Amino acid sequence: MTTLLPTSGVQLIEVAPELAGQRIDNFLVTRLKGVPKTLIYRILRKGEVRVNKGRIKPEYKLQVGDIVRLPPLRLPERDEPVPLAQGLLQRLENSIIHEDKALIVINKPAGIAVHGGSGLNYGVIEAFRQLRPDAKELELVHRLDRDTSGLLMIAKKRSMLRHLHEALRGDGVDKRYMALVRGHWESSVKQVRAPLQKSNLRSGERMVEVDEEGKEALTLFRVLRRFGEFATLVEARPITGRTHQIRVHALHAGHQIAGDTKYGDETFSKEIRDLGGKRLFLHAYALNVPLPEGGVLKLEAPVDEMWAKTVERLGA
């Protein structure tokens, strides 16, 4: 069920002096609070928004006295989620590698956030609430960075969520990642133990750095494959679960991860991009999870085609 905006029907708005010079798209974002930006740009593109009875482009700058015509808009009810693209929903449905009555585990594609926020209307959890409308208790068990791919757990029941959170606080869950890093990683470097501290830049961007005042953090590393002196494929097993832990610990060891725009080496990342690797090369590939009824769920997730082809070209 949908409802009309309170000011439903066609609206005609005269531009006041204080709004002169503002772009029409920014004006609409402010005026139509709650309306997805995709819808705003669609009605602009289709010519449904008019200024002085004429079509305009998103970059048009308003003038004093302009008459802006807004079409009737239909929005979801407050409790009704914004419908997501079928292509995205199908992609996430296809990413499921395990599902039972209490747990879903997916191989999350790189580039998809785990939840909405920071300008995003949706993430994995919002998508699965639409894919599984009967599962009323769906919650993320843990998180992956937006650009990290791999195994992500979603609890379908509160009891499973509590069980897994307890297991994560202890050492019951074994998570392993693959990372393609710059340079020759010495086999003798088997762990990085360095405390991590979060900080926010003036832009609002969150960064993490090694700081003695930070929280204890430990990552175990193992060499999987070398590509001469140029790059190394390593396994990373985070024993603690700090934000950006593997990325910052790899940097601390002197081996930035390919495609890392926050902590990486741009020259190295560009060379990997030139091989077709246009992503962050960090992938949660293996997971061992204790089950409430006993036993262990063991899962592995393959890398995507871009990763596989890039590594193949590196090897050649």
Closest listed residue to residue 276, CA positions, set 225, 240, 244, 310: 310
* Residue type at 74 in one-letter notation: R
Scanning the structure block, which residue is given the tokens 């926020």? 117
Average pLDDT over residues 306-314: 97
Report which secondary-structure segment, H or E, holds 299: strand 296-300
Closest listed residue to residue 227, CA positions, set 180, 281, 178: 180
Coil/strand/helix, residue 273: helix
pLDDT for residue 4 is more than 90: no
pLDDT digits (tens, 9 = 90+) for 147-159: 999 999 999 999 9
pLDDT digits (tens, 9 = 90+) for 22-39: 899 888 888 887 777 888
Average pLDDT over residues 3-13: 60
Please tell me the predicted confidence (pLDDT) of residue 8.
47
pLDDT for residue 1 is more than 50: no
Q: Residue 161 and residue 150: Cα distance in Å, rounded?
A: 19
- DSSP 8-state symbol, 35: S
Is the pLDDT higher at 135 or at 204?
A: 135
DSSP sequence for 173-231: -EEEEEEEEES---TT--EEE--EEEEE-TTS-EEEEE-TTSB--EEEEEEEEEETTTE
- DSSP 8-state symbol, 31: H
Average pLDDT over residues 282-303: 96
CB of 124 within 8 A of CB of 113? yes
Active site (catalytic) residues:
145
Average pLDDT over residues 135-146: 92
CA-CA-CA-CA dihedral for 135, 139, 145, 149, to nearest 10: -40
The domains of the chain, with CATH numbers, are 2-76 (3.10.290.10), 81-170 (3.30.2350.10), 172-316 (3.30.2350.10)
pLDDT for residue 270 is more than 50: yes
For helices 124-131 and 86-94, give the axis angle rounded to 10 degrees.
Answer: 90
CB of 89 within 8 A of CB of 15? no
189 Rama sector, left if φ>0, alpha if ψ -120 to 50, beta otherwise? beta
CB of 97 within 8 A of CB of 291? no
Q: Residue 8 and residue 2: Cα distance in Å, rounded?
A: 12
Please tell me the predicted confidence (pLDDT) of residue 26.
86
CB of 69 within 8 A of CB of 53? yes
Least confident of 57-61, 75-79, 194-198: 75-79
Share of residues in the chain with pLDDT > 70 (%): 91
Coil/strand/helix, residue 283: strand
Average pLDDT over residues 101-125: 85
Confidence of residue 249 (pLDDT cuts 50, 70, 90): very high
CB of 154 within 8 A of CB of 107? no
Q: Residue 259 and residue 177: Cα distance in Å, rounded?
A: 15
Please tell me the predicted confidence (pLDDT) of residue 119.
55
